[in-house]
Copies of this chain bind each other. A is one copy, B any other.
Amino acid sequence: MYITQCLHRMMQRAPDGVAAIDGDRRTSWAELGEGVARFAGAMRAIGVGPGDRVAILSRNSDRFLEYVLGTLWAGGVINPVNLRWTAAEMGYSLADCDTRVLLVEPGFEHLLPLIRAEAPGLTHVLSTGETSAEGIVPRSLWLANAAPIADALRRGNDLAAILYTGGTTGRPKGVMLSHANMVWSVMGSLAEPGCAPGSVFLHSAPLFHIGALSGLLLSLFAGSTCAFIPAFEPLAMIETIARHRVTDVFFVPTMLRMTIDHPRFAEFDTTSVERIRYGAAPIDDVLLDRAIDAFPNASFCQAYGMTELSPTCCLLGPADHSAEARADGRGRSAGRATTVCEVRIVGPDDAETPRGQVGEIAVRGPTVMQGYWNKPEATAAAVRDGWMHTGDLGRMDENGYVTIVDRLKDMIITGGENVYSAEVENVVATHPSVAAVAVIALPDERWGERVHAVIVPRPGSAADGAAIEAHCRAGLAGYKIPRSIEFVEALPLSGAGKILKAELRRGRVGSG
């Protein structure tokens, strides 16, 4: 199997069917196929060979779709850039895996000087539009005259994507996913009754994230029309659903809440929505009740996973969103193992724990990543004997339902984004007024969790939260910056001098 197989399939069975809708632009499967083959020809012409990385810095669009399929068609490896990162973080991720080709959406050119400074190996910076600033080639120049090429047919364990995720020890790591990894993940979702997408799938969550990217592949393999909006924005979401009679959407719960809370929600006909997939966090009962009212024809399916698992390992399907399932607790779980992977709860000795007992969630199967780019030690630590150790602590009930209770990794999930405490602490600690810092998650009604910093000031320094926030802004993506800062005289320490974060969390409450 190979990822572009989904495109060949749709070109065979529905050449005139609508593959993509973006604003007023509609693309048929036959046109998409031609565009992808030409895009691949353009990549080949600038030297992209088997396994070479191609990056994109862009919001969602039909051109993002062309980039994903076209890069793979050329035999290359996609490396989409996280738009929420700082230019320095972006540059680091490009340089780390030696990416030489970068596509840039107009509007992001101002980031290029800083990116280039971090990633001097970039040889080709191409615009997805007609920008032709210094060193940027407009689309008409690099694409229009390219000759289409045949599909390179990379497949199986050949590398398809490198996706960067935050690291527990500071620097992001490049997760290597193969064609087989990603196709198996799609199969796991297609095999689950009621989780398969239908006719028009709206892609609004950022496609540089595995959650949205796997939703894109799922819809392609199911032969759905892909509709795009540049980024999640509740009104655009609602308008697009109504305009194109969208049947399938993917949300993180925060997005779902913002959508149904929008004051103009009731003005639009959103009854076409049949399937709502959500992930990154469980849905709370109040939100689910409201969502069921708001989307009366929709079934709900929760996906749990991580980038290293391509990403889904557990699904909570429509049947588990019934009133009965919610009453008996299943509906509050992360679901059960998909058809394609094995999930178990293990103790520190890697032996399976008895049902009901808390341990680390471990996953085995064809969706487990190929490893972290250039980090064999980190790979060996995470994947042991074929089992990916998620770093999430959970328990499994007698029917295989997994409930997540905590995280081994010191990480905060805010609005669906993972923030590693260590990375934020490293930046905060460099401020001259900070003697010690601990960054923890506090519950947050809107974002699920929020980043909270507990700081011990240096003797004689002023406790100036605003100054520390400004300091963070220079080095960290917006969503990583502490949303609340608290000054204390001392941090609670264990006998070994380790900060007792559980104790810090216990004493604090979240806010809306």
Report which A residues bind B (CB closer than 8 A).
Answer: 1, 5, 8-9, 12-15, 184, 187, 190-191, 193, 196, 221-222, 336-337, 339-340, 342, 344, 365-366, 396, 398-400
Contact = CB atoms under 8 A, between A and B. Distances in A.
A400 B29 CA distance: 13
A184 B5 CA distance: 14
A224 B353 CA distance: 27
B342 A8 contact: yes
A191 B340 CA distance: 12
A1 B191 contact: no
A317 B187 CA distance: 18
A182 to B, nearest CB: 14
28 contacts: A1-B184, A1-B340, A1-B365, A1-B366, A5-B342, A8-B342, A9-B337, A9-B339, A9-B400, A12-B336, A12-B344, A12-B396, A12-B400, A13-B337, A13-B400, A14-B399, A14-B400, A15-B398, A187-B191, A187-B339, A187-B340, A190-B190, A190-B191, A190-B339, A191-B196, A191-B222, A193-B196, A221-B339
Contacts of A184: 1
Contacts of A12: 336-337, 344, 396, 400
B366 A399 contact: no
Nearest to A17: B399
A325 to B, nearest CB: 14
Contacts of A336: 12-13
A59 B400 CA distance: 34
Contacts of A13: 336-337, 399-400
Contacts of A8: 342
A366 B179 CA distance: 13
A336 B342 CA distance: 31
A400 B223 CA distance: 13
A222 B340 CA distance: 11
A369 to B, nearest CB: 16
A6 B193 CA distance: 16
Contacts of A15: 398
A446 B35 CA distance: 51
Contacts of A399: 13-14
Contacts of A222: 191
